[in-house]
Chain A
Amino acid sequence: MEIVLYLVYLIASVCFIFGIKKLSSPKTARRGNQLAALGMLLAIVVTLFDQKILTFEYIILGMVVGAAIGVIMATKVQMTGMPQMVGLLNGFGGGASALVAFAEYDRILHSIDGFEISTTITIVLSVLIGSVTFTGSLIAFGKLQGIVTGKVVKYPLQHPFNALLLLAVLAAGVFVVINPSEINIVIAIVAVSLVLGVLLVLPIGGADMPVAISLLNSYSGLAASMTGFVLQNNMLIIAGALVGASGIILTIIMCKGMNRSLMNVVLGGWASAGAEGPAANGKEQKGTAKSVDAEELAMLLEGASSCIIVPGYGMAVGQAQHAVRDLMNVLEKKGINVRFAVHPVAGRMPGHMNVLLAEAQVPYDKLLAMEDINDDFPNTDVVIVIGANDVVNPAARSDQSSPIYGMPILNVDYAKTVVINKRSLNVGYAGIDNELFFYPNALMYFGDSKEAMSKLVSELKEL
C-alpha cells in the first residue's frame, strides 16, 4: 500500500509539472490548470487511504467547509477584485503549511518518537514562513480591498525593529532546535512571525503591490516545501518548489519593470513617495496642458489609421474594461488598427490588465508586452492612455534627478498624438509630476475612465 501511495504522489507531481508547462500558451493553459487540479485530486484521494488515518469525521467536516468557502469565493469574485482574491489565497496556503508543521511538532512532542534535528529545523522554518505569509497576505488583502491604507506607511525605527524581530525569531529557532520540547518557545515563534508578517507588508504602497503579491506567492510555495521536509514527502517539496520558483520569477520581473531592487520595494516605497522633493523642480517648466472633449477626440480618431491603447490601474478602478472593448470595436469598424500596450507593472498584480481585458472579450493577441510594442509608437497616429501615469512618464528616460529615472516606460510620447485620460492633473503613485501632459503632442481628456470612454464611443458612432 505504501508503494501505491508514493507512486500516486509521483504521478501527481508529474501532473503539476506538466500543468505548469501547459501554461506557456493561452491555448493549452486551461487544460494545464485542469491537469494540475487532477494531480491534486489524486494526491488527496490516495492520502485518504493511508492507514495512518483512523478517523474521518473531522476530515470530512474540514473538507466540506473549506471546499464550500472556496467555491463561493471563486464564483463570486469579480475580475477587478482578483488581486485581493489571489492575496487572500496566498495567505490560506501559508497558514495551512504553518498549522501542519505545528501539528506535526505537537504530535512528535506527545509521542515516543523524539525529535530529530533536521525535523525541528524544518518545523521552525515552516512555521516562520507560513505565519509571515498568513498575516502578510491578510494585510495585502486589506490594502487592496481598501480596509488598510494603501499608502506607504512609515513608523519610527521601522527597519531596526523588524530586523530585531527577525533575529529574535531566528535565535528562538536555534534554541528550539537544541531544546525541542520547549513548546512555549515554539508558540512565541508563531506569535512573533505573525507580527512580522504584518509589519513587513504594512509599509508597502499600493502600486508596489505586484511585487508584494508575487513575493507572498513565493513564500506560500516555500512554506509548503518546508512542510514537505517536515513530513519527508517529496511531492510536497516538488509542488512547493515549483510555486516558490514561480513567485520569485514574477517578483524579479516586477522589480525590473520598476527598475528597483527587491530590498528597495520591501523596505517601503520610492525615496520620494508622497513626500516633498522632486515635485518642486518639475513645477518651473510646467506649461499649460491642452484639454480635449469627446467630440474633438472622435474627430481626431476618425482621421487616424493606427491606435494603441495603454491601460493602467485607473481603468481597473473605473471598471472601464468593457467601455474600452467597445472603443476597440468601433475603431476597428472604422478600419483603424487597434492594439494594447501593457506595462509589466500596470495594475496591482502581474497580468492584472490582461485578465480585465480578457474578461471584456478583448482577444489576447491584441495585448502586447512592453518590449514587443515599444518600437511601434513612432509609427502610431493616436495613443490613448487610460488611467496610467508613472509608466508613461518620459522623465524615466531623460531626467537623472527623477526618482523613477531608469524605469522602463512605454514610449507613448513618440506617437503623433498621445491622449491621456485621467481624472485630474494630479501626480501618480511615485508622487512626481508627469511632463508628458505638457508636451506639444499631448492632449488631456479629463473624466472618469468608464464615462469618458463611453462618451467617446457614442461620439464615434455618430460620425
Chain B
Amino acid sequence: MDIFGLLMLIYVFVLAIFVGFELITKVPPTLHTPLMSGSNAISGITIVGALLSAGLGEVTISTILGVVAIVFAMINVVGGFLVTDRMLKMFKKK
C-alpha cells in the first residue's frame, strides 16, 4: 500500500467518524444500553479478518491466532446482536 492508498483509507475513516457522530447524537438516552451492545456487535466485524487468517491452509501461528480470533469475534457478534434484540423487545410504549 503506497501513501495514497493509505490516504484513501484515512478519508474513509474520517468521513465514517462524522457519519457516526451525526447518527449517534440522535439516539435517545433511553436506548443508550442497546446502542452500546448493538454497536459492540458491529465491532465484531473484525471477524472478516479472522476468517482470512484462519483459512490460510497450512497450520501456522497465524491460523491458530485466527481461530481464537474467530471464537472471540463470534461471541461478540452473536452475543451482542442477540442480547440487543432481547432488550429492544422489552421497550414498549403504553
Chain A residues within an 8 Å CB radius of B86: 74-75
* Cβ contacts B28-62/A at 8 Å (1 or 0 each): 11111111111111111111111111111100111
Are A89 and B79 in touch, CB under 8 angstroms?
yes
Which residue of A has the minimal Cβ distance to B57?
A54
Asked if A59 contacts B55 (CB within 8 A), the reply is yes
- Total contacts A to B, CB within 8 angstroms? 385
Tell me whether B49 and A236 are in contact (CB under 8 A): yes
User: CA separation between A196 and B42, bound complex, in Å?
Assistant: 25
Scoring A residues 331 to 359 as 1 if CB is less than 8 Å from chain B, else 0, what string do you get? 00000000000101000011110110011
Contact A344 B20, beta carbon cutoff 8 Å: no
B59 to nearest A CB, angstroms? 8
Interface residues of B in 72-86 (CB under 8 A from A): 72-86
* Least distance between B85 CB and chain A CB atoms (Å): 6
Measured CB to CB, the closest approach of chain A to B61, in angstroms, equals 5
Q: Indicate which residue in A17, A221, A232 contacts B19 across the interface (CB closer than 8 Å).
A: A17
Q: Please tell me if the beta carbons of B60 and A110 are within 8 angstroms of each other in the complex.
A: yes
Contact, CB under 8 Å: A50 / B13: no
Contact B29 A36 (CB under 8 A): no
Query: Is there an interface contact between A104 and B74, defined as CB atoms closer than 8 Å?
Result: no
Set of chain B residues within 8 Å of A44, measured between Cβ atoms: 47-48, 51
The answer to whether the Cβ of A192 comes within 8 Å of any Cβ in the partner chain is no
- In the assembled complex, the Cα of A411 lies from the Cα of B46 at a distance in Å of 45
- A contacts with B, residue count (CB < 8 A): 114
**How far does the alpha carbon of A119 sit from the alpha carbon of B43 in the complex, in Å?**
20
CB of B45 within 8 A of CB of A250, answer no
How many angstroms from the CA of A230 to the CA of B42 in the assembled complex?
Answer: 18
User: Given known contacts A104-B53, A237-B12, A243-B42, is B76 in contact with A92 (CB within 8 Å)?
Assistant: yes
Instruction: Mark A112-149 against chain B: 1 for CB-CB distance below 8 A, else 0.
Output: 00001011000000000000000000000000000000
Number of interface residues of B (CB under 8 A): 81
Is A197 an interface residue, CB under 8 A from the partner?
no
- Which residue, of B43, B56, B77, B86, has the highest number of chain A Cβ atoms within 10 A? B43
Residues 50-66 of A, flagged 1 when their CB comes within 8 A of B and 0 if not, give 10111110110111011
Judge whether A69 and B38 touch: CB under 8 Å: no
- If A29-B88, A74-B83 touch, whether A43 touches B6 (CB-CB below 8 Å) is no
Residue of A at shortest CB range from B29? A369
Q: Is A445 an interface residue (CB 8 A)?
A: no
Q: Find out whether the CB atom of A85 lies under 8 angstroms from the CB atom of B37.
A: yes
Residue of B nearest to A221 (CB): B43
| A354 lies within 8 A of B62 (CB) | no
Within the complex, what minimum Cβ distance (angstroms) separates B53 from chain A? 4
Assess the B34–A238 pair: CB atoms within 8 A: no
Cα(A104)–Cα(B66), bound, Å: 9
Q: Which of B17, B19, B51, B87 contacts A82 (CB 8 A)?
A: B87
Whether A233 contacts B76 by the Cβ 8 Å rule is: no
Q: In the docked arrangement, what's the CA distance between A369 and B1, Å?
A: 48
Instruction: Contact check, A89 vs B66: say whether CB atoms are below 8 A apart.
Output: no
- Whether a CB of chain B sits under 8 angstroms from the CB of A317 is no
With A74-B82, A118-B1 already in contact, the answer to whether A89 and B37 are too (CB < 8 A) is yes
Q: Which of A19-38 contact B (CB under 8 A)?
A: 19-21, 23-27, 29-30, 32-34, 36-37
Q: How far does the alpha carbon of A220 sit from the alpha carbon of B39 in the complex, in Å?
A: 10
Query: Among the interface residues A43, A44, A103, A217, which one has the most CB atoms of the partner chain B within 10 A?
Result: A103
User: Closest approach, in angstroms, between the C-beta of A75 and any C-beta of chain B?
Assistant: 7
- A267 in contact (CB, < 8 A): no
Residues of B within 8 A of A265 (CB): none
Q: Are A223 and B46 within 8 A (Cβ)?
A: yes
The answer to whether B41 and A232 touch across the interface, beta carbons within 8 angstroms, is no
The reply to whether the CB of A185 lies closer than 8 angstroms to some CB of chain B is no
Least distance between A283 CB and chain B CB atoms (Å): 36
The 3 A-B residue pairs with the shortest CB-CB distance, nearest first, are A66-B74, A245-B20, A70-B78
16 A-B pairs with C-beta separation under 8 A? A20-B38, A23-B23, A52-B55, A58-B55, A58-B70, A62-B68, A65-B71, A74-B79, A74-B80, A92-B72, A232-B5, A234-B12, A242-B20, A242-B42, A245-B23, A350-B32
